[in-house]
Amino acid sequence: MKAIKDCGGITIVQDPHDAVEPSMPLSALAKSNVDYMTTINKLAELLEKLVAMPVENIVVKPPLSLELEQAASVGDNAMQKLKAIGKPSTFSCPDCGGVMFELDEPGPARYRCHTGHAMGLLSLVATQKEVADDALWTALRALQEKEAGLRQLAESMPPALPRYLALLTEADALASAAATLRALTVGEPRQA
């Protein structure tokens, strides 16, 4: 929204009282000088009115920071451009694992990685939660599969062998670790 305004565009936000997720338009209203606020039912009417208005042929040069961010997002010497408009953060990109740069701008923290992913702090935390949950489910599945494999291996040998008891002991330890890990997971694994 800010980038659109900085480049001379017109901004429209849904009335938060009309929105399914009011936090999104409330955030836009708090962070930008919005031109229009409307309900979803009146949006088409507003767009028709705006399209019918005469357009002034004014060229607005985007701020250098926006030009550098856009260039970085398409891979044009991304690391150098991101260093010019931000600083490396303590976060890695939850989508690709790259370094996240915290952009030098007023308002809530915003991050961009050198491969093009961009997100605010709220989105970053939400995506990190998804990545962490996926990792926990993957680890849980690996522990359970190894436990099952060890138990199957133990069943294939005589109980009198010392290895039999060692396999069952290791399987029991894995089952305990899996139970602890399951307690850390939230909900069900995401479906691909």
Judged by phi (left if over 0) then psi (alpha if -120 to 50, else beta), residue 77 lies in left
Walking along the chain (192 residues) 10 residues at a time, the average pLDDT comes out as: 85 94 86 90 96 85 87 84 93 91 88 90 89 90 96 94 94 95 76 61
Residue 72 falls within a domain, yes or no? Answer: yes
What does the pLDDT read at residue 188?
A: 67
At position 127, the amino acid (one-letter code) is T
Q: Does residue 38 sit in the same domain as residue 68?
A: no
Radius of gyration of the chain from its Cα atoms, rounded to whole angstroms: 26
**CA–CA gap between residue 33 and residue 43 (Å, rounded):** 18
Domain containing 36: what range? Answer: 2-52
Q: Does residue 10 sit in the same domain as residue 30?
A: yes
Q: Does residue 44 sit in the same domain as residue 71?
A: no
Backbone angles phi, psi at 98, to 5 degrees: -75, 170
pTM to 2 decimals?
Answer: 0.64
Is 142 in contact with 177 (CB distance < 8 Å)?
no
Q: Does residue 166 sit in the same domain as residue 133?
A: yes
What does the pLDDT read at residue 191?
A: 65
Q: Token pair for residue 189?
A: 């694994």
Evaluated on CA atoms 69, 71, 75, 80, the torsion sign reads: negative
Q: Does residue 138 sit in the same domain as residue 94?
A: no
Return the residue matching tokens 């949950």: 133
Residue 58 falls within a domain, yes or no? Answer: no
Residue 34 falls within a domain, yes or no? Answer: yes
Is 103 in contact with 86 (CB distance < 8 Å)?
yes
Count structural domains, the chain: 3
Q: Does residue 153 sit in the same domain as residue 179?
A: yes
Q: Does residue 44 sit in the same domain as residue 74?
A: no
Residue 87 falls within a domain, yes or no? Answer: yes
Count Cβ atoms within 10 A of the Cβ of residue 184 and give its class: 0-12 exposed, 13-18 middle, 19 or more buried: exposed
Residue 94 falls within a domain, yes or no? Answer: yes
CA distances from 123 to 50, 75, 98, 127, 148 (A): 32, 22, 16, 6, 37
Residue 189 falls within a domain, yes or no? Answer: no
